[in-house]
Amino acid sequence: MSAAADLELPEQTAAERVRSLLAQAVSLSLTTDGQDYDLIGMHSVGSKGQITLHPQPDTPLAAQIAAAPRGTLAALLDFTDIAPTALRDRVRARVTISGWLAPADDGSLRLDLARVTLRTPTGTHEVGLDEYALAEADPLAVEEAAMLTHLADAHDDMVVDLLLRSGSRLPYGVQRTLPLAVDRYGITLRCEYREGHCDLRLLFPATARDAVHAGEQVRRLLTLPPPSPNCDHRHRGWSSVKG
């Protein structure tokens, strides 16, 4: 398949990818002036992507905000998208969001956004703030981890059958295959070699509405004639490896 055809495959936009990651995330890394924090279960995301932190009143972060000039604090938030399955290289994406933290009326901290950046193994994408606010998370985002781990743990035969649908397009030497990602458009398998990997994306016959419908689409994939999959050897992870 040509590079031009690869680009035409339906997939989430960068903004949707960011919103999907935030919908899944339970933790983040926060960097302020001279301080680093790892926050678990201490943030929420609004319908337009508004990020709110909920520190306890007696924490160092709350004290730093209270002492900040003009009541605001420059902040950098980092979210990491980790594949739920036991892959060799599990980092799928990273999102960095910068802005200013300011106290809200209820004691929480709101983030006034300045910049949103998505980094994936294929490149870096700057996401416009309007695009970010208008985007929605993929309908499978919240349940994706459970879907992938269930497929890997209880249906490894289906993973093998999906792999076989690639036919001669998949180069010789695959040592292990696990589900990497699933969204409303399709499922992606990680094919690991002795050195390196490639990601094999199979499109659903129909766009999935929810997790149940996505399961139906996976089963339909196994009953249809093999399509032309996208086995993209540019998806090499975060380090340079040989294919």
DSSP 184: T
Check: pTM over 0.85? Answer yes or no.
yes
Question: pLDDT tens for residues 231-242?
Answer: 554 343 333 232
Instruction: Round to whole Å and give the CA distance between 73 and 112.
Output: 10
Tokens of 134: 């208008």
The closest alpha carbon to 198, from 157, 161, 166, belongs to 166
> Phi/psi of residue 206, each to 5°?
-145, 150
Output the pLDDT for position 55: 93
Listed range (23-32, 48-57, 94-103, 157-166) with the worst mean pLDDT:
157-166
Domains in the chain: ranges and CATH = 3-134 (2.30.110.10), 144-232 (3.20.180.10)
In this structure, the strands spanning 197-203 and 230-232 are: antiparallel
- Which DSSP state fits 98? E
pLDDT for 65-103, tens place per residue? Answer: 989 988 899 999 999 999 999 999 999 999 999 999 999
pLDDT, tens digit (0-9, with 9 covering 90-100), for 144-183: 999 999 999 999 999 999 998 876 567 678 999 999 999 9
51: burial class by Cβ within 10 Å (0-12, 13-18, 19+)? buried
Q: How far apart are CA 140 and CA 17, in angstroms?
A: 12
The Cα 150–Cα 97 span in angstroms is 31
CA dist., res. 207 & res. 11, Å (int): 11
CB atoms within 10 A of CB 77: 24
Angle between helices 211-221 and 156-164 (to 10 degrees): 50
